[in-house]
Amino acid sequence: MVSLQDMDDLLNAHPFFAGLGPKHLDELAGCARNERFDAGDYIFHEGGMADRFYILRHGQVAVEVKVPHKGSVVLETLHEDDTLGWSWLVPPHHWTFDARAVSLVRAISLDGVCLREKMETDHELGFHLMARFVPVMGERLRAARLQMLDLYAPPA
């Protein structure tokens, strides 16, 4: 186990949390733990309880969906410094896709139940987290839309 101070430092050094004050970092660190997944491990499955989110520190994660007769299709991959998962934020808190470690993955996970409780009482923390999640969601949506356009397809 890493100490709370170590976790504080880890979070503090991460770009996703840049600009957060010590009080909020402490609150987050209280809900955080280190995780490790080997290549091939599933981090979560579609439909499962979305009780946490992940900040990737190392490795590659494939976000996938199972397609009948085709097996798993990779929708996108996430890498170092990316965040994984926001279903913990919105009821009913179910994962909408599968997430699989493509390589060894080291991550910090933050417990969604723990965070939601803190956000209930500390709205400012809620604001700071939302302000960090919304741009990430926007960026992913933009990338997904462009991907959908199939820009490099042969002209019809």
Determine the interface stretch with another protein among 28-36, 87-95, 119-127, 138-146 (rule: CB under 8 A). 138-146
CA distances from 73 to 91, 132, 151 (A): 26, 28, 19
Asked if 104 interacts with another protein (CB under 8 A), we say no
Q: How far apart are CA 62 and CA 40, in angstroms?
A: 10
DSSP string, 46-70: TTSB--EEEEEEES-EEEEEEETTT
Question: Binding to another protein by residue 102, rule CB under 8 A?
Answer: yes
Q: Is 73 in the site for another protein (CB under 8 A)?
A: yes
Residue from 36, 79, 131, 141 in contact with another protein (CB under 8 A): 79
Q: Residue 32 is inside which H or E element, if any?
A: strand 32-37
Tell whether residue 1 is a contact of another protein (CB under 8 A).
Answer: no
- Find the angle CA(45)-CA(50)-CA(56) to the nearest 5 degrees: 80
Give the shortest CB-149-to-another protein separation in angstroms: 7
Cβ proximity to another protein, 56 vs 115, nearer residue:
56
Residue 75 binding another protein, by CB under 8 A? yes
What is the enclosing helix (H) or strand (E) of 105? strand 105-111
Between 71 and 91, CB nearer to another protein: 71
Beta bridge partners of 99: 44, 63
**Position among 4, 13, 74, 130 found at the interface with another protein (CB under 8 A):** 74
By CB under 8 A, the residues from 37 to 66 that bind another protein are: 60, 62
DSSP character at residue 155: P
Interaction site with another protein (CB under 8 A): 60, 62, 73-77, 79-81, 102-103, 139, 142-143, 146-147, 149-155
